[in-house]
Each structure stands twice: as C-alpha cells, then as structure tokens.
C-alpha cells in the first residue's frame, strides 16, 4: 500500500482565480478547461451569473498560476435559433482538446429540454464556431481525446442512468457530428470513494505508458456529497482499453475554499497541462466557487494506476 504524502501539491497561492478577478459581474469562477497555446496558458472558466445560470470567461497566464481575465466573456448562450434553444439556461464546464490543429471545445448546454453537449471549434481563441449538438439529453462531461484512432474521433461520455450508477462511456465519430459505437468502459465501485458516480474530468494526455485521464468520483455522506479526483490509464493504441485505475483518490476537498462555497466539498476538474519536465499542472474548481491549481509528477500518477489498481468495471 502506498503512503499518503500529497499526490498533488497544491499551489501555495490558491485559489488562483475568484469572482473578484473578473471585470464583469459574476458570482463564481470554476470548472475551467485549459491549454497551453503558443506558450500561453489559456483558461476557459465557468461563472455563475447572479441569476444562477452560467457563462464562460477567458483568462490568460504566462506561468500557469497567475491569470488575467479578459474584459468580456468568451462564450455566452447562443442567439442562434437552434443553438439558442438548447443553451437558454446557460453553458458550463468546457473541456478543450487539440486535434489536428483545431481546438475542440465541448461544454454542457442547459435548457428546458435538459442538459446536452455542444461542440465548438477555434484555432486561436479569438473566433469560435459552434459545430453541432453532439448528444441528446441527459449527458454531461464529454471529453474528446486529442488524437484520432483508426481515423475516428473518440470521446469519453457520461450518460445519466437511474438503473446503474453514473459511469464513463466511450463513443466514436468519423466527422465530429455523428457519434456511435457507444459502450461503457468504467463504473463506480460499491462502498468506495467514487461509489455514487464517476465522470470524465480533464482532457486525457499522452504518457509513454498510456493516456492519463483525471476523472471525478462522488461519494454520498449523511451531510451531502463529496467530489474527489481519481486517475485512470488508457491504452495508447486503444483508449477503450483501461490498463489501470488507481484505487485511491488523488485529490479531495481540504482547503477552506474547497470545503465551503456555492456547493460544499467539491474538487472538480476540466483541465490539466502536461509539462516537458515530467510534471502536470492540474486545475480544479473549489466548491463550485473558485479556481485552484496544483502539480503532480506524471510518473507517480501512472504508477498509482499500475501498482494499486481497482477494477474499471
């Protein structure tokens, strides 16, 4: 059994971004997707407006920790007739994947019809083009792999289910529009830290042993749920094959701003940036209120998946 020094070292100046840093009125700053684009860290973060609905802002950083927010929101619900109908209650939790020189953005779109996933594309984070709604309701947390496999795009899905605890699925597409061949790849484990539900988290990144995916898992307690982060390793040539899932979580709510806030006891990730020095910067929303960051050694995360695994299904 491994010892418990922190697997993720929290940045000592957390939280890295709060509503006070945003030049337009918002109640929260959390659940941000993030990439390093031409050496600049670009963060697309979610904010609740004061009506409880969400929009997406942009913040940039040279070092990955100190961010400056753009004066205007990056993405707000569409006014287009089709997209507008499905984004009317807000847009949330962007994931960013670089595939073939395009940044693909997946986000949750809320409306009177439920929650589904929208896909947009940008090359430069200046202009954004909405491509399609790529799920029906009720799905959240869709993350596209940064490479194609057998000529097809591959994504992690999280459909809703009353019969089985909410689990991670995988789907494929030849063109980003039509998705299929869906099947379940990872499920919660009973009486385990992720027993209530699991969902895709940060965009997976390549290591020499496999694709590393940092996901979230939820446990129900007598005083509400606890959102933690875990890690899974997917085969390089076939990400539907999970090589190992760490039995232990890698991050849980511990700092005051992770324990208390808009939703207490939440750490929730949508993005991580692997660095050339073998570390990865991991970003998470604390209590659905602020953005936090930390770093981990990639080999240690891989080792957790291989040396102390639990069954994926």
Q: How far is the CB of 90 from ligand BMA (least distance, A)?
A: 11
Q: Write down how long the chain is.
A: 313
173 vs 269, beta carbon nearer ligand BMA: 269
Q: Is residue 61 within a helix (H) or strand (E), and if so which, with residue range?
A: strand 54-61
In angstroms, what is the minimal distance from the CB of 263 to ligand BMA?
4
Alpha-carbon Rg for the chain in angstroms? 18
Q: Which residue lies nearer to ligand BMA by CB, 86 or 227?
A: 227
Using CB atoms within 10 Å of the CB of residue 313, give its burial: 0 to 12 exposed, 13 to 18 middle, 19+ buried: exposed
Q: Which is nearer to ligand BMA, 155 or 233 (CB)?
A: 155
Distance CA 243, CA 263 (A): 33
Under DSSP, the state recorded for 150 is T
Beta partners for 61? 41
Applying CB under 6 A, the residues found at the interface with ligand BMA are 31, 92-93, 227, 263, 266, 268, 285, 288
| Cβ at position 218, least distance to ligand BMA in Å | 8
Nearer residue to ligand BMA within complex by CB, 239 or 285 = 285
Measured from the Cβ of residue 280, the count of other Cβ atoms closer than 10 Å reads 22
CB of 286 to ligand BMA, least distance (A): 10
Q: Which is nearer to ligand BMA, 105 or 266 (CB)?
A: 266
Dihedral (CA of 27, 33, 35, 37) sign = negative
How far apart are the C-alpha atoms of 312 and 184, rounded to whole Å?
Answer: 10
Neighbours of 164 (CB within 10 A): 11
Q: How far apart are CA 34 and CA 53, in angstroms?
A: 21
Give the nearest distance from C-beta 49 to ligand BMA in angstroms: 15
Nearer to ligand BMA, 264 or 309 (CB): 264
Q: Minimum Å distance from CB 57 to ligand BMA?
A: 15
């Amino acid at each position: 059994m491994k010892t418990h020094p922190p697997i993720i070292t929290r940045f000592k100046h957390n939280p890295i971004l709060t509503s006070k840093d945003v030049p337009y009125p918002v109640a929260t700053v959390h659940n941000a997707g993030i990439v390093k684009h031409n050496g600049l860290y670009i963060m697309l973060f979610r904010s609740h407006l004061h009506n409880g609905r969400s929009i997406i802002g942009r913040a940039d950083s040279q070092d990955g920790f100190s961010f400056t927010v753009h004066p205007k929101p990056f993405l707000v619900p569409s006014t287009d007739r089709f997209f507008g109908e499905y984004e009317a209650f807000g847009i949330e939790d962007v994931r960013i994947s670089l595939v073939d020189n395009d940044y693909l953005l997946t986000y949750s779109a809320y409306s009177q019809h439920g929650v589904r996933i929208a896909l947009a594309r940008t090359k430069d984070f200046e202009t954004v083009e909405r491509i399609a709604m790529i799920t029906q309701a009720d799905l959240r947390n869709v993350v596209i792999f940064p490479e194609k496999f057998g000529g097809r795009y591959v994504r992690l899905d999280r459909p809703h289910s009353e019969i089985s605890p909410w689990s991670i699925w995988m789907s494929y597409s030849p063109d980003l529009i039509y998705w299929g061949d869906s099947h379940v790849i990872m499920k919660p484990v009973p009486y385990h830290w992720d027993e209530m539900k699991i969902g895709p988290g940060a965009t997976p990144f390549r290591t020499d042993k496999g694709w590393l995916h940092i996901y979230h898992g939820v446990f129900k307690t007598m005083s509400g749920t606890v959102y933690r982060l875990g890690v899974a390793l997917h085969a390089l040539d076939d990400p539907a094959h999970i090589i190992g899932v760490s039995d232990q979580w890698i991050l849980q709510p511990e700092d005051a701003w992770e324990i208390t806030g808009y939703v207490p006891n939440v750490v929730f990730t949508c993005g991580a940036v692997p660095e050339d020095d073998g570390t990865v910067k991991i970003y998470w929303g604390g209590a659905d209120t602020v953005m936090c960051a930390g770093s981990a050694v990639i080999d240690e995360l891989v080792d957790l998946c291989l040396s102390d695994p639990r069954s994926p299904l």
